[in-house]
C-alpha cells in the first residue's frame, strides 16, 4: 500500500492486473481483437465487469458499487492501459457513470447505476448538443454499448437522454480505426422518435464541462499504464539484446533515454494521482493537467520504445505498435493537449474566452 | 494549519519587518550577495526564537517536528518571503549527520552554535578533478602529533565566505583509490592554512568559492566515523535532505512564475498563443513537481522507499532552467537591457538557472542514477579502477 492508495485499491489492482495480463498474453490479446475486426471483446467485458465486479468501482455504495471514486478508477485504468483490453470501461464506468451520478435524476440513478455496477449494462456517451444534423461520428465504444447517453441543448443548459440499443430508428455504424483495440462508431438518431429519447438528467453548461473534464483523469491514467508497459518492455529487451559484446542496456545512449521515459511516466503519474485526489467540485484544473501531460508522455514513450527496440519494434508481430496506436488515439480523444493547455492558460491569465 | 505552522507564521509576520524588511524575497540563488551582514543577523534572530533545528530530536534542542510540520515550516518561510538561508547546510545536513554518527563530545561542541544561528558551515566535497566522479578525491589528510594536516583544494563551495567551518572529505590512507581510505573532517575555516577565493559566476555574483588547504589543521577527534568511513558518512549526509525543503523552494518558484505571468499581461505577451502554451506547461510542471514531492514524502513517512524521488532533482532543475528561458522570451527585446546597470530579478533567474542542471549532480549524472537505481540497468564504471560489468 503506497500513498495515495489503500489496501482496497491494492486488492483491486492485483485482481485487475491478474485478469488483464492473462488476457494480454504477450500481445496475443490485442492481436486476437484485431483479427476479429470488431475492436471489442464481449467475453472479456463479461468477465471483467460482471464476474470480477470491476464496473462498479466508482459507483457509490448506495447504488451497489464499490464507492472507490476517481482513485479506484485510476487503478483500473492503469491496468487497462497496460493490456489494451478492448472493453468499454472508460465510457461505461467513467463518463456515463459520472453523468448519471452527478446530473441524473433519482429514477435514472436507480434504473441504471445498479445495472452498471453489476456489469449488466455497458454504455457510451454521444456528445450531441452541438450536432444539428443529429449525427455524430467517432463515438467511442458506441458500437458495442447497450446504452447510448446523448447530450442535447435544453433551456439554458444541457439535457441528457438515454437511448437503449435496438431503439427503433437508432443507427450505429462502426468505423475502421488505426488503433484496432478501441472501437469508434457513428451515431445517427434522426429517425428516433422524440418519445423514445428517455430524459435522464440535466445540468448547466458549466456543470457539463466540469463533468466531461472529470473523465479526463481516467483517460490520463490509461496513458500512464500504457507508457509503463512500453518502458517495461524496453528495459527487458535492452537487457537481453547484445551488440558490441554488451547488452545495449549498458550504453548511456539507451540508459539516458530510458531515464527520460521514467521521468515522463512518474511526472504523469503524479499529475494523474493529484487529479484523482482533488475534490470533485474542484478538480477541473488538475484533470486538464493530467490529461495534457499524460497523453503527450504516453505518445513520446511509445515512440521511444519502438526506437530502442530497433527493427523488431517496427514489426507487426511485436506488440509495441498497438501501444503506439493507442497513444496516438488518446491524443485526440476529448481534444488535443494543446487545447487543454490553452484552457489552462485562460485560467492562469483570467481571460478565458 | 498545525499549531507549529501557525506559531511560525505569526512569528514571521512579527519579525520579518523593520530593519529586516530589506531581506524579503532576497538572497535567492543568483542574488546571494544581497545584505550579507543583515542575513547573518537574521539567522541569529531565528536561532534565538528557537526556529533553527525544529526537525531535530527534542534531546538536542529541536522540536522533533513531524513531516507535516516541517513542510508547513518551509512553506510558511517561503510564503512570508524569508531570505535565502545562510545556515541551512549546518542545520539540515551536518547536524543530522552529527546526531546520527557523531560522538557526545561533537554533539556538545557543534550543535549549539548551529542551533543559535551563530556558526555557519559549508561543504567541502567537490574538487577540480572530482566533480561528477566525486570519489576521485585528491585532498590529503595526514595524522601527525594528534592533528590532521590537510593539503589540497576544494571547489564550488557554496557560502564559504560567510562560514565558520567546513566539513571535508579527504584521503587519509596513502595509495587508496575511489571510495576507500577516505575520512570526514570538521575544520575551522579561520586559520593560516586555509585560503578562500570567490568564483565570479556568469550571473555576476559569487555564491561558489575555491577553498585551498596548505597545511590546514583540525584535531585528531574532529572526524565523524572512522578512517576509511569518509565516503559512507559523506553519502549519509546527502541522504538527510529528505525533500521537505523542496516544497519551500517550490513556493519561490511559484512567485517567480507569477511575476512572469504579470509581466506577460502587462506587455501583451499573454496574447501570443505560443507563449500561452509555454506558460500553461510551466504551470502544469510546477503542480506536478509538488505532487511528486508529496508522494515521496508521504511514502517516506511510512518507511517506504519509492522510486519517483529519483526524478526530483532533474525535474526541478530542468523546469527552472526552462522558466528562465520563458522569462526572457516574455520580456522580449527588453531582456537585453539592464535597468539601472543591474540585472533585474528575471535576468538573474535566467542566468543563475544555468547552474541548476549542473550542481548537486548534473542532469547527465541524474540520468545515470535513475537508470541504475530506479530501473536496475547496468552500472557505469566506478572510480578506483573497478569496472562493474553489465
Tens of pLDDT, residue by residue over B59-105, are 999 999 988 888 889 889 989 999 999 899 999 999 999 999 999 99
State which H helix or E strand residue B143 sits in. strand B140-144
- Give the tens place of pLDDT for each residue, A158-175: 999 999 999 999 999 999
Percent of chain A topping pLDDT 70: 100
Residue B230 binned pLDDT confidence (cut-offs 50, 70, 90): very high
Torsion sign across C-alpha atoms B173, B174, B179, B184: positive
Average pLDDT, chain A: 96
Within chain B, all domains assigned CATH 2.40.110.10 are found at: 122-233
> Which residues in chain A (36-55) have CB-CB distances under 8 A to chain B?
none
**Do A246 and A151 share a structural domain?**
no
Task: Write out the H or E segment, with its range, that includes residue A159.
Answer: strand A157-164
Helix (H, G, I), strand (E, B) or coil at A102: helix
End-to-end CA distance of chain B: 50
Q: How far is A333 from chain B (nearest CA, A)?
A: 19
Neighbouring residues of A205: CB distance < 8 A, sequence distance ≥ 6: A157, A158
Whether residue B389 is predicted with pLDDT greater than 80 in this model: the reply is no
User: Are B390 and A262 a contacting pair at CB < 8 A?
Assistant: no
State the pLDDT at residue B386. 44
- Per-residue pLDDT of A98-157, as tens digits, reads 999 999 999 999 999 999 999 999 999 999 999 999 999 999 999 999 999 999 998 889
Any B CB within 8 A of A199 CB:
no
Q: Are residues A246 and A310 in the same domain?
A: yes
A233: domain CATH number is 1.20.140.10
Q: Which residue in the set B270, B292, B304 is minimally distant from A266, CB to CB?
A: B292
The answer to whether residues A38 and A124 belong to one domain is: yes
Inter-chain CB proximity B375 and A262 less than 8 Å? yes
Whether A194 and A237 map to the same domain: the answer is no
B242-374 folds as Butyryl-CoA Dehydrogenase, subunit A; domain 3 (1.20.140)
Total domains in the fold of chain A: 2
Domain boundary among A209, A242, A271: A209
pTM metric for this prediction: 0.94
- Domain match, A205 and A247 both: no
d(CA A128, CA A285): 24
CB atoms under 10 Å from CB of B75, counted, come to: 18
Mean pLDDT over the full length of chain B = 92
The tens digit of pLDDT for each residue in A41-82 reads 999 999 999 999 999 999 999 999 999 999 999 999 999 999
Class of domain B122-233: mainly beta
The CATH number of whichever domain residue A50 belongs to comes to 1.10.540.10
One domain, residues A321 and A202 = no
Which of A185, A209, A233 terminates a domain? The answer is A209
Domain that holds residue A55: 7-209
Q: Which of B277, B294, B377 minimises the CB distance to A255?
A: B377
For chain A, the first-to-last Cα distance in angstroms comes to 43
**Residue reference for cell 585528491:** B138
- Would you state the pLDDT for residue B273? 97
Residues A196 and A279 in one domain: no
User: Are A281 and A343 in the same domain?
Assistant: yes
- The CA distance from A286 to A289, in Å, is 5
Active site residues of B: 241
pLDDT band at A330; cut points 50, 70, 90 = very high
Taking contacts as CB-CB distances below 8 angstroms, the residues of chain B near A270 are: 288, 291-292, 295, 308
pLDDT in tens, A195-252: 999 999 999 999 999 999 999 999 999 999 999 999 999 999 999 999 999 999 999 9
Test mutation, B378, B381, B387, chain A, max A CBs within 10 A: B378
Specify whether A189 is located in the same domain as A222: no
B107-132 confidence digits (pLDDT tens): 999 999 999 999 999 999 999 999 99
pLDDT tens, B147-169?
999 999 999 999 899 899 999 99
Q: What percent of chain B has pLDDT over 70?
A: 97
Using a CB-CB cut-off of 8 Å, the residues of chain A touching B372 are 255
Q: Does the complex come out with an ipTM higher than 0.90?
A: yes
Residue of chain B whose Cα is closest to the Cα of A274:
B291
Residue A108 lies in a domain: yes
Q: What share of chain B is helix, strand, coil (3-state, %, to 5)?
A: 50, 15, 35
**Do A86 and A183 touch, CB atoms closer than 8 A?**
yes
Q: Are residues A200 and A260 in the same domain?
A: no
* A278-317 residue pLDDT tens: 988 889 999 999 999 999 999 999 999 999 999 999 999 9
Note whether A238 contacts B: Cβ–Cβ < 8 A.
Answer: yes
Does the distance separating the beta carbons of A348 and B287 come in below 8 Å? Answer: no
Q: Which of A186, A209, A232 is the last residue of a domain?
A: A209
Residue of B nearest to A256 (CA): B367
Interchain contact, A342 vs B277, CB within 8 Å: yes
Q: Where in chain B is the domain with CATH 1.20.140.10?
A: 242-374
- How many CB atoms neighbour CB B354 within 10 A? 15
Instruction: List, as ranges, residues 262-321 from A with C-beta within 8 Å of B.
Output: 262-263, 266-267, 269-271, 273-274, 286, 289, 292-293
Are A259 and B308 inside 8 Å of each other by CB?
no
State mean pLDDT over A5-24.
Answer: 97
Asked if residue B237 lies in contact with residue B97, where contact means CB atoms within 8 angstroms, the answer is: yes
Looking up cell 510542471 gives B285
Which chain A residue is nearest to residue B369, measuring alpha carbons?
A259
Are A183 and A308 found together in one domain?
no
Of A27-31, A143-147, B303-307, B380-384, the least confident: B380-384
Task: Give the pLDDT confidence score for residue B312 in this predicted structure.
Answer: 93
Report the gap between the CA of B168 and the closest CA in chain A (Å).
31
User: B303 exposed, middle or buried (CB, 10 Å; 0-12, 13-18, 19+)?
Assistant: exposed
- Minimum distance, in Å, between the CA of residue A37 and any CA atom of chain B: 37
Q: Are residues A167 and A91 in the same domain?
A: yes
Instruction: Measure Cα distances from A324 to A83, A253, A314, B194, B342 in Å.
Output: 13, 22, 11, 59, 50
Interface test with B, best of A5, A224, A272, A341 (most B CBs within 10 A): A341
Identify the band that residue B36 occupies on the pLDDT scale cut at 50, 70 and 90: confident
Amino acid at each position: 500500500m503506497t500513498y495515495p492508495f489503500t489496501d482496497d485499491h491494492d486488492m483491486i489492482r492485483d485482481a485487475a492486473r491478474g485478469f488483464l495480463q492473462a488476457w494480454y498474453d504477450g500481445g496475443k490479446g490485442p492481436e486476437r481483437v484485431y483479427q476479429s475486426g470488431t475492436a471489442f471483446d464481449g467475453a472479456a467485458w463479461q468477465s471483467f465487469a460482471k464476474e470480477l465486479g470491476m464496473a462498479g468501482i466508482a459507483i457509490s455504495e448506495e447504488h451497489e458499487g464499490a464507492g472507490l471514486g476517481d482513485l479506484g478508477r485510476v487503478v483500473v485504468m492503469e491496468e487497462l492501459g497496460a493490456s489494451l483490453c478492448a472493453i468499454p470501461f472508460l465510457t461505461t464506468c467513467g463518463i456515463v457513470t459520472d453523468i448519471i451520478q452527478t446530473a441524473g435524476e433519482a429514477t435514472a440513478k436507480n434504473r441504471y447505476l445498479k445495472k452498471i455496477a453489476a456489469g449488466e449494462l455497458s454504455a457510451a456517451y454521444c456528445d450531441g448538443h452541438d450536432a444539428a444534423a443529429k449525427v455524430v461520428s467517432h463515438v467511442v465504444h458506441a458500437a458495442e454499448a447497450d446504452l447510448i447517453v446523448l447530450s442535447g441543448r435544453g433551456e439554458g443548459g444541457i439535457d441528457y437522454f438515454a437511448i437503449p440499443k435496438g431503439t427503433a430508428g437508432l443507427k450505429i455504424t462502426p468505423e475502421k480505426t488505426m488503433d484496432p483495440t478501441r472501437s469508434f462508431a457513428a451515431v445517427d438518431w434522426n429517425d428516433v422518435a422524440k418519445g423514445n429519447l428517455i430524459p435522464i438528467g440535466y445540468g448547466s453548461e458549466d456543470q457539463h464541462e466540469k463533468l466531461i473534464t472529470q473523465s479526463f483523469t481516467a483517460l490520463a491514467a490509461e496513458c500512464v499504464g500504457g507508457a509503463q508497459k512500453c518502458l517495461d518492455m524496453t528495459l527487458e529487451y535492452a537487457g537481453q539484446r547484445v551488440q558490441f559484446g554488451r547488452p545495449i542496456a549498458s550504453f548511456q545512449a539507451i540508459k539516458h533515454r530510458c531515464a527520460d521515459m521514467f521521468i515522463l511516466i512518474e511526472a504523469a503519474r503524479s499529475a494523474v494521482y493529484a487529479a484523482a485526489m482533488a475534490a470533485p467540485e474542484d478538480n477541473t484544473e488538475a484533470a486538464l493537467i493530467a490529461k495534457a501531460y499524460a497523453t503527450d508522455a504516453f505518445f513520446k514513450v511509445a515512440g521511444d520504445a519502438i526506437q530502442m527496440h530497433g527493427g523488431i519494434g517496427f514489426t507487426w508481430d511485436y506488440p509495441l505498435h498497438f501501444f503506439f496506436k493507442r497513444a496516438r488515439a488518446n491524443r485526440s480523444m476529448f481534444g488535443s493537449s494543446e487545447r487543454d493547455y490553452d484552457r489552462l492558460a485562460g485560467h492562469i491569465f483570467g481571460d478565458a474566452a | 494549519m498545525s499549531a507549529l505552522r501557525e506559531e511560525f507564521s505569526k512569528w514571521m509576520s512579527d519579525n520579518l519587518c523593520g530593519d529586516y524588511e530589506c531581506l524579503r524575497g532576497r538572497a535567492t540563488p543568483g542574488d546571494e550577495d544581497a545584505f550579507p551582514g543583515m542575513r547573518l543577523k537574521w539567522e541569529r534572530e531565528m536561532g534565538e526564537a528557537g526556529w533553527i533545528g525544529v526537525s531535530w530530536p527534542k534531546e538536542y534542542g529541536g522540536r522533533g517536528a513531524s513531516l507535516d510540520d516541517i513542510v508547513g515550516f518551509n512553506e510558511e518561510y517561503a510564503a512570508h518571503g524569508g531570505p535565502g538561508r545562510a545556515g541551512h547546510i549546518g542545520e539540515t545536513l551536518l547536524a543530522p549527520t552529527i546526531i546520527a554518527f557523531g560522538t557526545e563530545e561533537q554533539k556538545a561542541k557543534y550543535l549549539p552554535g548551529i542551533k543559535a544561528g551563530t556558526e555557519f558551515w559549508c561543504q567541502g566535497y567537490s574538487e577540480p578533478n572530482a566533480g561528477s566522479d566525486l570519489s576521485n578525491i585528491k585532498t590529503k589528510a595526514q595524522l601527525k602529533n594528534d592533528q590532521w594536516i590537510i593539503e589540497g583544494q576544494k571547489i564550488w563551495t557554496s557560502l564559504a565566505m560567510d562560514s565558520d567551518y567546513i566539513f571535508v572529505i579527504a584521503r587519509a590512507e596513502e595509495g587508496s583509490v575511489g571510495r576507500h581510505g577516505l575520512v570526514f573532517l570538521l575544520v575551522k575555516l579561520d586559520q593560516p592554512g586555509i585560503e578562500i577565493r570567490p568564483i565570479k559566476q556568469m550571473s555576476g555574483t559569487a555564491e561558489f568559492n575555491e577553498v585551498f588547504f596548505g597545511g590546514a589543521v583540525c584535531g585528531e577527534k574532529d572526524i565523524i566515523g572512522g578512517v576509511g568511513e569518509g565516503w559512507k558518512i559523506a553519502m549519509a549526509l546527502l541522504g538527510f535532505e529528505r525533500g521537505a525543503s523542496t516544497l519551500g523552494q517550490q513556493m519561490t518558484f511559484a512567485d517567480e512564475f507569477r511575476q512572469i505571468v504579470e509581466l506577460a499581461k502587462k506587455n501583451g505577451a499573454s496574447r501570443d498563443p505560443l507563449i500561452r502554451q509555454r506558460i500553461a506547461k510551466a504551470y502544469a510542471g510546477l503542480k506536478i513537481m509538488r505532487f511528486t514531492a508529496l508522494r515521496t514524502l508521504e511514502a517516506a513517512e511510512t518507511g517506504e522507499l519509492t522510486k519517483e524521488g529519483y526524478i526530483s532533482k532533474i525535474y526541478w532543475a530542468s523546469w527552472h532552467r526552462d522558466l528562465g528561458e520563458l522569462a526572457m522570451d516574455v520580456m522580449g527585446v527588453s531582456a537585453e537591457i539592464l535597468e539601472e546597470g543591474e540585472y533585474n530579478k528575471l535576468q538573474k533567474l535566467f542566468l543563475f538557472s544555468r547552474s541548476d542542471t549542473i550542481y548537486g549532480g548534473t542532469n547527465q549524472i541524474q540520468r545515470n542514477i535513475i537508470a541504475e537505481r530506479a530501473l536496475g540497468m547496468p552500472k557505469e564504471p566506478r572510480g578506483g579502477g573497478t569496472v562493474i560489468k553489465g
